[in-house]
A and B are shown apart, each in its own frame.
Chain A
Amino acid sequence: MTRALWVLAVLLSHWRRHKMQFATLLIGLIAATALWSGVQAINQQARNAYDRAAATFGGARTAMLVAPDKATFSQDLFVKLRRAGWPVSPMLEGRVQINGRSMRLLGIEPVTLPADVGNAPRLGAADLTAFVAPPGQTLVARETLADLGEQEGAAPPISNGAKLPPLRVLPQLVPDVLVVDIGLAQLLLNKPDQMSRLLIGKPRGKPAPLQSVVGEQLLRVEPTAETELERLTDSFHLNLTAFGLLSFFVGLFIVNSAVGLAFEQRLPMLRTLRACGASARLVNTVLVVELVALALVAGLIGLVCGYFIAAALLPDVAASLRGLYGAQIPGQLTLRGEWWLGGIGISIAGALVAAATSLIKAVRMPVLATAQPRAWQQRQRRWLVLQGAAACATFAVALLLLHYGQSLIAGFGVLAALMLGAALILPALLEIILLIGQRSARKPLALWFWADSRQQLSGLSLALMALLLALAVNVGVSTMVGTFSRTFVGWLSGRLAADVYISASDNAQGLAIRSWLKQRSDVQAILSGGRAETLVRGEPVEVLGLPDHALYRERWPLLEATPRAWTELVPGNAAFISEQLSRRLNVRVGDVIEVPAPGGSWELDIVGIYADYGNPKGQLAVNVAALIRHFPQTPQTRMGLIVAKQNIPGLIADLRRQFALDDRSVADQATMRAESIRIFNRTFAVTSALNAFTLGVAGIALLTSLLTLANSRLPQLAPLWAIGLTRPRLAAIELTKTLSVALLTALLAVPLGLLVAWCLIAIVNVKAFGWRLPFHVFPLEIIELVVVALFASLLAAILPVARLARMQPANLVKVFANER
């Protein structure tokens, strides 16, 4: 043991003399671990939240019975089913407003609530009486209590005047959900003897067939291993993970170059150790132990950094997920033990992978140096050919995935293969370009410039590959984001046609507002809207009621339509379909779709497809009057007003005063637009932040590679100095070389980036969100990125070059004195 410790001490002494190298190694590991674990922390946080949502008294993890039109149904069905041996437990769901804040109210029946399905929060035994017996309880998440600004035990009133039972915290609950006994829910929601769904528990015997008990009134929805929320948000998290992974690999590039150099420099030391009697096994073991110990330390630091990255990004992520999918993620980061262990594990595994080649070399190293330096050209050529072949294979995989892949994962697979292939082929491309340069050079110095650049390639290639990837991703993502926001802003002005939007709390208030508005001379038109929910081929679908008004005909963002689409809509047997639903159901213009409605099945001709960005649910748009005919329960609470611009503030103020409406219930178009755009901008804030991080890490990779090279390049530079080139001149040449290689890389990154953007827009987005955007290129932004990349390269190159410029001649002389 002491022997091992002494060997370790000798090995570690190297770092004391090469602090920069040590820092490089640690920075690489820290960056890799930090970004990876930061992203993992965010994903884990979100997944915990989805789990909580799914587990909220039987979410999607539980099989259930629902009415075909998703409407509520009579409690008698529940009793009938129970008496037929069905182990069902009823639930009633609705929305209530507390101080203007809309919340989901969930009525449950704790006595029959299946304990064996999902991981529903269990009410403690003693709590059950308190929950069921008057006055009952309202169970809420801690976050909800804070949002409401209430204390436990408070009984806040809801908008219809009723009072909630006293609040009590149940920590496992999701935010924005109020859980009460089903009897109380029926009272609060004014739905006596009604239920929204029945959760199916473990059967006790053999229940009678469903149809024989309830006929067609209820249908069974099987549990999904993945909740709808998870399915919807998958793409988002995959996106994050992809970025995390990319950063991780860029970090490992750094580690690889640092470890590789350190190993080269420590070769004589290892030989001396062996010559002095440390066995090969001991030295190799200690090498691994040293690496693992470093990875452990760096992993811990990386995890702390990762925590802060996650904490910094989380609010944006949470906002994105809420805006896009309605998913509630707590803004406070909580981490499990697995996260810490996983982070340390990934750090160690990453370090071992990055150091693998060096470690294998160490294991195979003979004690006696066999000096057989093969010509570097030969080695480099073979290596370039190998890499080129690997690149071609990767491109082939990308093509195959593009052609045969259907899923989102395949989409990301295409992206990954594309980028990996591009990274692999980069050195070969650069080599060809430099070779052409060399052939065309006339002056000896220029010849040397090109030749030396080529020789440098192998040392720099990892860093350049990292730079290429980071840049391509940046170009790709910024193109996609730019495309998106341009498309989205245009689309939004089409969708938000009216000037003022009102959402009344119930039908009575809706009527009152309507008649009040009719008295106002400043209201030019009242456009009624409405929406109902149903299941089309098992998919939850919103049916949107559109008023028949010129404004809609002019502005509604139809992607594709029959010539007389709007006229066809009016009678009520035609519909527009949202782009994502049309893809999901594979429905085109001219097809017919059957929509279950309370009055029976509703057949609709599809006469148009419209863009519906940002809506996770499929949507159909029909004439509003037809909607109300087929879905009589549709709340008639939504309306849009056409009002002259100067009258808007006055009207809104009057509405607020007259009907005690809050910000959520009445808003003008400009506010809603700003709000929507803000949500969408936040959606990509995380992507942009990770983008910047990745570019930063690539910059570090370049810096460390250049620093690493700087030392080993002295033997090449010293002869030039000896024949009369000044040190500043040498430094300038070095800088030019680095920048030109970086520029070449950046220029190659542009087409790759556009290809990445195309993949994101045409493959990933379509699979993830169900919509396809028109492809826009933003040349200014691309130029900007190239300049930033060159600037980063300049920064990275300047330190080693400055060192060269100020180097003592004695150090250059040493090159001739020493072998190494």
Chain B
Amino acid sequence: MSVERISRRVFAGGIAALALARRAAAQGYAGLGESADGFARVTPGKTFAFPADHGPHPEFRIEWWYLTANLIDSSGAACGLQWTLFRQATQPGPQSEGWANQQVWMAHAAVTRADTHRFTEAFSRGGIGQAGVTAKPFAAWIDDWEMKGSERTDDRSLSPLTLKGAGADFSYALTLDADRSVVLQGDGGYSRKSERGQASYYYSQPFFRARGSLTIDDKPIEVSGQAWMDREWSSQPLDADQTGWDWLSLHLSSGDKLMLYRLRQKDGRDYPFGNWISAAGDTQMIAGSDIRMTPKATTEIAGRKLPVEWQIAIPSRSFSILCKPLNPKAWMGTGFAYWEGPISFAGTHDGVGYLELTGY
């Protein structure tokens, strides 16, 4: 599951942040297939410790703090927003001070409505305070964007938090609240990416309730809804022959949450993964063989064909839905371009969520 996620974030975070280099995907998408030499390795059996693990893990190559929110405004119109902070280490080894620090930070922010999609990105070097993350009190920031806790913030639920992001023509400020603990994805937070052992550490907080304001073209609107935060770090998340991924986070109207993704391979095969999170916070992995992800309608953006509509079925759970994007043009034309936007779905279950498509 988090393989793809990883990749997705990684893709963006890693090399992107560093060099804005658009290398060919010969080594896996955006160079994610490089060897992890010198960096810490992801192994099963890690005991997560909070709040420490909310903070950065600079000994790993890549890491992110990733938040998506499905919101509605006072008129009931749907909208969504994204706030992502990526960290990538250019070199392994003990952390150097000041400008010599090896970390490079990158962030993306976006808001999406049915009629518009705005996005922007930010970059920073580590070591001087322009960007960074602290575990206690929790704070993740780059420039004037931040996701921040306070003394009241609970270590287990990472709540409450405030969130701020801004672009040239949009901005948002939210408060995030959750009454349940973060959820470890995969096998106790160990998320395998391939048969050959690539993996990441991965946990989420899918139970955030969000409230705040969203401003587009200087017109502020009050919004509320739900948000999903992913935390993931690794040193080599993608296999060399994996070309991209399709990832979904779904808020079911029943209160259950579902995380699904599909890693695409060069040979045309793909590997779906999934995790079902009950409304109470229990998780259950879903076998890949039990997941049917079928692209339906595509839309063409920036010369690429993107499957923005999906038919998804999990027969063992009598689950069958059709996902439709709020705005099919939710293209993130950033240094590393991809599609990410809010969706809604109906069928045996209904609800809202976020879809991410990379490597197209």
Contacts and interface: CB of A to CB of B under 8 A. Distances in A.
Interface in A110-143: 111-112, 124-129, 132-134
A109 B143 contact: no
Interface stretch (A198-206, A226-234, A630-638): A198-206
A75 B128 contact: yes
Interface string B257-297: 00000000000000000000000000000000000000000
A183 B99 contact: yes
Contacts of A203: 168
Nearest to B98: A183
A204 B125 contact: no
Contacts of A675: none
B144 A111 contact: no
Contacts of B144: 82-85, 205, 207
Most-contacted residue by chain A among B99, B104, B129, B130 (CB, 10 A): B99
B226 interface: no
A69 interface: no
A79 B99 CA distance: 12
B339 interface: no
Interface residues of A, number: 32
Given A128-B21, A182-B99, A133 B123 contact: no
Interface string B8-40: 000000000011111100000000000000000
Most-contacted residue by chain B among A109, A125, A134 (CB, 10 A): A125
Given A128-B19, A203-B168, A82 B102 contact: no
A128 B335 CA distance: 14
A204 B130 contact: no
A111 B104 contact: yes
A85 B143 contact: yes
Most-contacted residue by chain A among B21, B104, B128, B129 (CB, 10 A): B128
Contacts of A109: 99, 125
B311 interface: no
A132 B18 CA distance: 10
A111 B129 CA distance: 14
B210 interface: no
A133 B102 contact: yes
A193 interface: yes
Contacts of A78: 128, 130
A181 B130 contact: no
Contacts of B90: 129, 132-133
A327 B91 CA distance: 40
Contact of A125 (B20, B124, B129): B20
Nearest to B130: A82
Interface string B75-116: 000000000000000110000001110101000000000000
Given A83-B141, A83-B143, A111-B104, A204 B122 contact: yes
Nearest to A113: B123
B171 interface: yes
A126 B22 CA distance: 9
Contact of B166 (A85, A182, A202): A85
Contacts of B128: 75, 78-79
Given A181-B99, A205-B144, A129 B19 contact: yes
Contacts, number: 78
B120 interface: yes
B20 A134 contact: no
A82 B143 contact: yes
Interface in B119-150: 120, 122-125, 128-130, 141, 143-144
A186 interface: yes
A74 to B, nearest CB: 11
Contact of A133 (B21, B91, B98): B91
A191 to B, nearest CB: 12
Contacts of A192: 98
B162 to A, nearest CB: 15
Most-contacted residue by chain B among A83, A109, A134 (CB, 10 A): A83
Interface in A72-89: 75, 78-79, 82-85
Interface in A176-211: 181-184, 186, 192-193, 202-207
A204 B91 contact: no
B167 interface: yes
A204 B98 contact: no
A129 B16 CA distance: 11
Given A85-B144, A204-B166, A126 B130 contact: no
B86 to A, nearest CB: 13
A127 B23 CA distance: 12
B98 A202 contact: no
Interface in A686-700: none
Contacts of A181: 99
A504 B211 CA distance: 64
A34 to B, nearest CB: 47
B124 A183 contact: no
Most-contacted residue by chain A among B23, B100, B141 (CB, 10 A): B100
Interface in B167-193: 167-168, 171
A134 B124 contact: no
Contact of B130 (A79, A133, A193): A79
A204 B168 contact: yes
Given A134-B100, A205-B144, A128 B130 contact: no
Contacts of B122: 204
B90 to A, nearest CB: 5
A400 to B, nearest CB: 49
A81 to B, nearest CB: 9
Contacts of A133: 90-91, 102
A819 to B, nearest CB: 78
Interface string A343-359: 00000000000000000
A77 to B, nearest CB: 12
Contacts of A205: 144, 166-168, 171
A204 B120 contact: yes
B167 A183 contact: no
B98 A129 contact: no
A186 B99 contact: yes
Nearest to A107: B99
A109 B21 CA distance: 17
A124 B166 CA distance: 28
Contacts of B18: 128-129
Contacts of B130: 78-79, 82-83, 112
A205 B216 CA distance: 11
Contacts of B120: 204
B171 A125 contact: no
Given A83-B141, A83-B143, A183-B99, A125 B21 contact: yes
B151 to A, nearest CB: 21
A385 to B, nearest CB: 67
Interface string A50-79: 000000000000000000000000010011
A744 B166 CA distance: 78
Given A126-B23, A132-B90, A205-B171, 12 more contacts: A75-B128, A83-B129, A112-B124, A112-B130, A124-B21, A125-B19, A125-B20, A128-B19, A129-B19, A134-B100, A202-B168, A205-B168
Interface of A: 75, 78-79, 82-85, 109, 111-112, 124-129, 132-134, 181-184, 186, 192-193, 202-207
Please list the 5 inter-chain residue pairs (A to B) with the smallest Cβ-Cβ separation, ordered nearest first: A183-B99, A125-B21, A205-B166, A85-B144, A128-B19
10 contacts: A82-B144, A85-B144, A111-B124, A111-B125, A124-B21, A125-B19, A129-B18, A132-B90, A192-B98, A204-B120
